[in-house]
Structure formats: C-alpha cells, structure tokens
Amino acid sequence: MGLFNTPDRCSPGPPTERQTPRDAGGDKPLAYHRAVTAFLDDLRSRLPDLRVLTDETDRESYRRDETAHFEPGLPLAVALPATTAEVAEIMRAATAHRVPVVPRGAGSGLSGGSAGIEGALTVALMRMNAILEIDRDNLVAVVQPGVINADLKAAVAKEGLFYAPDPASYEFCSIGGNIGTNAGGLCCVKYGVTRDAVLGLEVVLADGRVIRTGGRNLKDVAGYSLTHLIVGSQGTLGIVTEATLRLRPAPPPKRTLLAFFPTVPSAGEAVAAMTAAGAEPCTLELMDRVTIAAVDDWHALGLDRTAAALLLVESDRPGTAAHEELDRAAAACDAAGAVSVVRASDPMEADWLRQVRRQAFRAMERLGVARMEDVGVPRSRLPELLAAIERIAAAHDVRCGTFGHAGDGNLHPTFVWDRGDTAAEERAHAACEELYRAAIALGGTVTGEHGIGAARRPFLEEQVGTDAVEVMRAIKAALDPAGLLNPGRVV
Ligand SMILES: Cc1cc2nc3c(=O)[nH]c(=O)nc-3n(C[C@H](O)[C@H](O)[C@H](O)COP(=O)(O)OP(=O)(O)OC[C@H]3O[C@@H](n4cnc5c(N)ncnc54)[C@H](O)[C@@H]3O)c2cc1C
C-alpha cells in the first residue's frame, strides 16, 4: 500500500462532490505533504526535463473543465509531458507512489472527466500536438493527442481530405479529448462519431507499459478490439499518446436549409420522418425558442423568434443531389407543419448559420450558470423526448433551452439559473435527474457524447444494469488494478 489511497475508486453510488484522497496513515496533513514531496522529487529525478507545475495559481487553472455545476478538486501538480516516454515514466512513478492521475486534453469536457481531483496529478497532453503524418495512400493521419480538432481538419483539407468528427467545440478541443469522450458533433448523423474515425492507438497503461492497438488496416479482427474499448473510456483505462485516424476525400461544399416550427415536438416529427425515409443529410440540428432567442440576442441575426423551434439541415452530396436531398427534407418539414422553410443563398451564409448553431451553448451561458445535458433516444422517439423536456422544465420551474444533434436523436437541454440562486440550482439538478429517467424510459441514454465522467455516474447502472457495470469494473480492474487512472469517473 502506498501513501495515497485512490478516492472512491470503484464504489457504486454517487460521486463525492469534492473528491478527496485518504491518507493511508490516518489524519495528517504533514504526512500528506511529505508524500507529495517524495513523489514530486522522484518524478523530477526520473524526468529532469519534464515540465511540472506546482504553483497554486497554475494548478488552479487546471482545476475545472467546462462542467460549470461540478465542484472539482485541486491537482497536487500538473505534468506537461512532451513524449510518450515521459508519459510512461510518469505512470511508473505514479504507480510506485500510488498517486492518482487525471489525463487531460483541452479541458472542454462537459462531464467533469478532466476536472481536478484533490491530491491527484493532472497530466495535460497539450504539448504533444504534432500531426506526425498525413498518409494519402491509405487515407489516414497519425497525430499526437494534443492536436486541436480544427487544426487537423485544416491540415488535411490542404491535401483535399476530410477528417469528419466535428464537435461544436472543434476550434478548441483536442483529438485526445475527443478520443477520451468518443466525441460526437454536427456531422455524426452521416459520418459517425469519433470511434468510427479511429483506426489505431498508442496507449500508456497505468503501470507504464506502452501498447499499440489497431493500425492502418481498415479491416482488422486480430483479438479483442482494444481500440474501441479505449475510445470513450475517459482516461480511466489508459492515456492515449498517438492516434491513427481515418480520413476521407473532401466532400463538396454544403447546401443548407432552415425550417421553423410552431411547436417543438413538430420539429421532432420532421426529424423522425426524415430518418424513416432514409434521408442522410450531413447535418440535422435543432434549436428551440429559448436558444434561438439567446443566439439572436447575441448575434442579431434576425431569426424568427416567434418559432418554437428550428431545424438546420445540410447536404454535402454532389451537384443536384444536394438540392434533391434538401427538397426531400423540406417536404418532411412541411408535412410536420413547418411555418417557413428557407435556404442559405451561398456557402458563406451556410457556414455562418452552422457557426451560429455552434455558439448555442455559449449563448446560453450568457444567461447565467448553464448546465448542458446530453440525453439521447432512438430517433423515432425524438418527439417524445422533446415533449418530456418541456414538461420537466415546466414542472421544476427552471429555464431551459434545448438544442443539439436531432438527427442522431441526441439533444442538449441546457438548464440555466442565476449565479447564487441556490433554490433554482437545486430545481435544475432535480430536473436533470428526471430527464435522465425519461431518456432511459424511452430506450435512450443519459449521455450521447459527453460521457458519464464524474457528473452522471449514479445513472450509469440505472441505464445499463448491474451486470454490465460489473463487467466494466472488471475491465477497469484488469487494466488498472490500483485504480489510479481517473478514479471515481465512469465506473
Ligand atoms: C461550447 C462547447 C461545445 C461542445 N460541443 C460538443 C459536441 O458537439 N460534441 C461533443 O461530443 N462534445 C462537445 N463538447 C464537449 C467537449 O468539447 C468534448 O467532450 C471534447 O471531446 C473534449 O475534448 P478536450 O480536449 O477538451 O478533453 P478534456 O475535457 O480535457 O478531456 C475529456 C476526457 O477525455 C480524457 N482525456 C483527455 N485526453 C486524453 C488522452 N490523451 N488519453 C486518454 N484520455 C484523455 C479526460 O480524462 C476526460 O475524461 C462541447 C463543449 C463545449 C464547451
């Protein structure tokens, strides 16, 4: 037993709001400080060139991710490795001293996954930000985890290629974080989520071993798919230090349509009808009245604020096929009762409208403390989910704006309250719990793309069942027996 016990590592039940390490020796700040000093001294002697932040102000800036309502801990230090070898040595030192480790990308996560844990070392991967190779012959890119999603998109676009995963945060989130969360985004409806774009990984395990999974083969069934296991594991099974990613030829410019609806469920009905008809637009996004008003207030767009909801539909099919696809989408919107359907006049206007949708969360944040949720349902049940969201927000008397990836059946009801209004905050948290249960009852999920992290852990078992959680815990125990990697998150 080392000097640190890992906090709450595999126990069921709610996560502690402030995750605190227990010192195996009992009470003692002094013993704790000695243990921290011994660990950091050892780290420095193993890796004299490693950048390590220990100043409190620096550590503070790694305390939070973007999960505003989650109260995280302060890292004991922040390591900024530059190579896989450094990450491996950090894990060997952490194992020797039983120090928990929080892997971190750009810190834009919305489930508390990279937020600090009191007494844990945060390992921030953003210095490992090289695009190592763009292999045109095999349509793959090999990158380090700290590459920003938008930078990869721009680099491959210069070669006439396309990296599909595009979270709304693509301008500031990292590929490592996208892999950690199995990030979705606006074009998943056609091109899939991050997992669908990951062919292989280099991963540092908890004990410092380095493994490679997958590779450049499009088909590869040699053994269990460790690649798919690591993607979405939120830093609890290993630290990704390199990724081999699938590229595609660049699609043609997008054509864009906006449809406005008199009720929110009628927009959901249009989405369900498009899905049932086999439509495959590359974007099918929804914003409700509250969100429309929030972005319109911010950017003065002149959107129809009387509408209860809008759908943003995009097609990137070649030539006239794009117009035909939008014609079919428009017909589905009309049939569902759309009050108006308009098309972007040129690609610049289309880009701008997409950018506006990407700003939805930031627009909601301007209204107060915003808790963005992430429920998903089978697409035919989207109208029921939308109706449930409206009912729950009204029942709990909380302000809620809903937007999201309607084409995936994945919505982000975002509850907002004034900072310091604890009664409203409590009502919002209660509304979230009811929302999770509503999604589960509809055959859906409590998180479509942001992850269980720390914030949604009590609901994992409710969704997947005890046996499935036990299997997850067994996998975690096999890969990380001391429970050092992101303890208290996911399982
Ligand atoms: C305005 C806004 C819009 C957003 N839109 C979307 C969206 O459309 N779709 C979507 O899916 N998400 C969205 N997000 C959430 C967030 O951007 C994604 O979850 C993103 O993938 C996180 O990337 P990051 O680099 O910030 O990772 P972090 O937040 O730093 O980490 C996320 C998780 O991955 C783990 N991790 C990070 N790096 C590694 C690594 N190298 N190895 C192993 N584990 C690692 C962390 O431990 C953590 O559990 C949005 C967030 C914001 C603020």
- For 51, residues 6+ apart whose C-beta sits below 8 A from its C-beta are 79, 80, 81, 82, 127
pLDDT given for residue 285 in this prediction: 97
Q: Is 72 in the pocket of ligand 1 (CB under 6 A)?
A: no
| Atom 18, ligand 1: residue with shortest CA distance | 109
For residue 258, the CA-to-ligand 1 centroid distance in Å is 28
Task: Return the number of other C-beta atoms located less than 10 Å from residue 100's C-beta.
Answer: 27
Joined together, the tokens standing for residue 61 give 């800036």
Q: Is 109 in the pocket of ligand 1 (CB under 6 A)?
A: yes
> How far apart are the C-alpha atoms of 264 and 281, rounded to whole Å?
20
Check: CB of residue 372 under 8 Å from CB of residue 412: yes
For residue 371, the CA-to-ligand 1 centroid distance in Å is 16
Q: The tokens 């269980």 sit on which residue?
A: 452
pLDDT given for residue 455 in this prediction: 82
Structure confidence by residue, pLDDT tens digits, 191-200: 999 999 999 9
Q: Regarding predicted confidence, which is higher, 30 or 338?
A: 338
> How far apart are the C-alpha atoms of 412 and 450, rounded to whole Å?
10
| Atom 37, ligand 1: residue with shortest CA distance | 177
| Dihedral sign (CA 98, 103, 108, 111) | negative
pLDDT given for residue 396 in this prediction: 98
Structure confidence by residue, pLDDT tens digits, 381-404: 999 999 999 999 999 999 999 999
Phi and psi torsions of 74, nearest 5°? -95, 125
For residue 250, the CA-to-ligand 1 centroid distance in Å is 25
pLDDT given for residue 348 in this prediction: 82
Q: Is 126 in the pocket of ligand 1 (CB under 6 A)?
A: no
Task: Return the number of other C-beta atoms located less than 10 Å from residue 444's C-beta.
Answer: 24
Structure confidence at residue 202 as a pLDDT band (50, 70, 90): very high
**DSSP label of 213:** E
Joined together, the tokens standing for residue 82 give 């530059």
Give the end-to-end CA distance of the chain in Å, rounded to a whole number: 22
SS3 220: coil
pLDDT of 451 > 80? The answer is: yes
pLDDT of 247 > 60? The answer is: yes
Q: Is 359 in the pocket of ligand 1 (CB under 6 A)?
A: no
For residue 458, the number of C-alpha atoms closer than 13 Å in the C-beta half-sphere is 11
For residue 398, the CA-to-ligand 1 centroid distance in Å is 27
Choosing from 110, 196, 229 the residue with most ligand 1 atoms within 8 A of its CB, the one to mutate for a pocket test is 110
Q: Is 408 in the pocket of ligand 1 (CB under 6 A)?
A: no
Q: Report percent pLDDT > 70 for the chain.
A: 94
Flag the least confident range among 2-16, 108-122, 239-253: 2-16
pLDDT given for residue 50 in this prediction: 98
Structure confidence by residue, pLDDT tens digits, 117-158: 999 999 999 999 999 999 999 999 999 999 999 999 999 999
Which atom, in ligand 1's list, is nearest to the CA of 166?
Answer: 8
Q: Is 452 in the pocket of ligand 1 (CB under 6 A)?
A: no
> How far apart are the C-alpha atoms of 136 and 62, rounded to whole Å?
37
Structure confidence by residue, pLDDT tens digits, 28-75: 588 888 999 999 999 999 999 999 999 999 999 999 999 988 889 999
List the beta bridge partners of residue 412. Answer: 403
- For 472, residues 6+ apart whose C-beta sits below 8 A from its C-beta are 490, 491
Q: Regarding predicted confidence, which is higher, 21 or 413?
A: 413
For residue 107, the CA-to-ligand 1 centroid distance in Å is 7
List the beta bridge partners of residue 248. Answer: 162
Residue burial 59-82, b: 16+ Cβ < 10 Å; e: rest: beebbbbbbebbebbbbbbbbbbb
Check: CB of residue 429 under 8 Å from CB of residue 398: no
> How far apart are the C-alpha atoms of 69 and 158, rounded to whole Å?
40
For residue 304, the CA-to-ligand 1 centroid distance in Å is 32
pLDDT of 472 > 70? The answer is: yes
Structure confidence by residue, pLDDT tens digits, 346-383: 878 888 888 889 999 999 999 999 999 999 999 999 99
Check: CB of residue 403 under 8 Å from CB of residue 285: yes
Instruction: Give the chain's radius of gyration (CA, Å).
Output: 23
pLDDT given for residue 27 in this prediction: 52
Stretch 86-97: mean pLDDT, rounded? 98
Q: Is 314 in the pocket of ligand 1 (CB under 6 A)?
A: no
| Atom 21, ligand 1: residue with shortest CA distance | 178
> How far apart are the C-alpha atoms of 344 and 400, rounded to whole Å?
28
> How far apart are the C-alpha atoms of 239 and 406, rounded to whole Å?
32
Calculate the alpha carbon distances from 461 to 135, 154, 230, 358, 453 in Å.
41, 40, 20, 31, 13
- For 194, residues 6+ apart whose C-beta sits below 8 A from its C-beta are 165, 178, 179, 181, 182, 183, 184, 231, 232
Structure confidence at residue 16 as a pLDDT band (50, 70, 90): very low
Structure confidence at residue 14 as a pLDDT band (50, 70, 90): very low
Choosing from 61, 69, 101, 104 the residue with most ligand 1 atoms within 8 A of its CB, the one to mutate for a pocket test is 104
Which atom, in ligand 1's list, is nearest to the CA of 105?
Answer: 30
Q: Is 193 in the pocket of ligand 1 (CB under 6 A)?
A: no
pLDDT given for residue 346 in this prediction: 84
Structure confidence by residue, pLDDT tens digits, 435-446: 999 999 999 999
Structure confidence at residue 181 as a pLDDT band (50, 70, 90): very high
Q: Is 245 in the pocket of ligand 1 (CB under 6 A)?
A: no
pLDDT of 26 > 80? The answer is: no
pLDDT given for residue 345 in this prediction: 85
Q: Is 122 in the pocket of ligand 1 (CB under 6 A)?
A: no
Q: Regarding predicted confidence, which is higher, 29 or 333?
A: 333
**DSSP label of 186:** T
For residue 333, the CA-to-ligand 1 centroid distance in Å is 33
Q: In 159-233, which residue ranges form alpha helices assigned H by DSSP? A: 175-181, 188-191, 226-230
pLDDT of 13 > 60? The answer is: no
Q: Report percent pLDDT > 90 for the chain.
A: 87
Which atom, in ligand 1's list, is nearest to the CA of 235?
Answer: 44
Smallest CA-to-CA distance from 173 within 240, 117, 220, 104 is with: 104
> How far apart are the C-alpha atoms of 163 and 154, rounded to whole Å?
9
Q: Is 201 in the pocket of ligand 1 (CB under 6 A)?
A: no
For the CA atoms of 319, 321, 322, 325, the dihedral, rounded to the nearest 10 degrees, stands at 170
> How far apart are the C-alpha atoms of 319 and 246, rounded to whole Å?
25
SS3 394: helix
What single letter denotes the amino acid at residue 405? H
| C-alpha 235: how far from chain center | 12
Smallest CA-to-CA distance from 69 within 426, 413, 361, 396 is with: 426
Q: Is 168 in the pocket of ligand 1 (CB under 6 A)?
A: yes
Check: CB of residue 67 under 8 Å from CB of residue 453: yes
Q: Is 183 in the pocket of ligand 1 (CB under 6 A)?
A: yes
pLDDT given for residue 491 in this prediction: 93
Which atom, in ligand 1's list, is nearest to the CA of 449?
Answer: 11
pLDDT of 183 > 50? The answer is: yes
SS3 110: coil
